[in-house]
Amino acid sequence: MPTFKFKGALAAGVLAAIGASVCCVGPLVLLTLGIGGAWVANLTSLEPVRPWLIAATLLFLGLAFRRLYLQPQVCEPGAVCAEPIVHKRQRLLFWFVAPTLLALLAVPWMASSFL
């Protein structure tokens, strides 16, 4: 069962980061693909909720980190989470996802460097 809770926190962090960066990453990606128009400006309507989504992303990443590194895993013998390879894969997935999410959150501040 701890595996499910870890995946839930990480998935929630991913969704929150995508929500936080859609107002800035979305138009940048569309313009890079050659899709333009006045309607692209409407994608910035999520800007007012961006701080809340950033906070949710950091919260869920923190919860996933806490579950992986600070809380001991309690598993029944023979359960999937009792295998060491599962815990190793969860940590590997966390360290793949966390920098990606932080990069998505940094796009609005770094966008001027790309243009």
57 within some domain: yes
Q: Which amino acid is at 115?
A: L
22 within some domain: yes
For residue 96, pLDDT beyond 80: yes
92 within some domain: yes
For residue 7, pLDDT beyond 80: no
Tens-place pLDDT, residues 55-92: 888 888 888 888 888 887 777 777 777 778 888 888 88
pLDDT score of 79 = 75
> Mean per-residue pLDDT for 94-111?
82
Q: Give the 3-state DSSP-derived string for the chain, with helices as H, strands as E and coil as C.
A: CHHHHHHHHHHHHHHHHHHHHHHHHHHHHHHHCCCCCHHHHHHHHHHHHHHHHHHHHHHHHHHHHHHHHHCCCCCCCCCHHHCHHHHHHHHHHHHHHHHHHHHHHHHHHHHHHHC
pTM above 0.75, yes or no: no
28 within some domain: yes
pLDDT, averaged across the chain = 75
Domains: count for the chain? 1
pLDDT score of 1 = 43
Structural tokens at position 72: 């001991």
For residue 98, pLDDT beyond 70: yes
115 within some domain: no
84 within some domain: yes
10 within some domain: yes
Range of the domain at 25: 2-110
Which range is least confidently modeled, 48-52, 80-84, 90-94, 110-114? Answer: 110-114
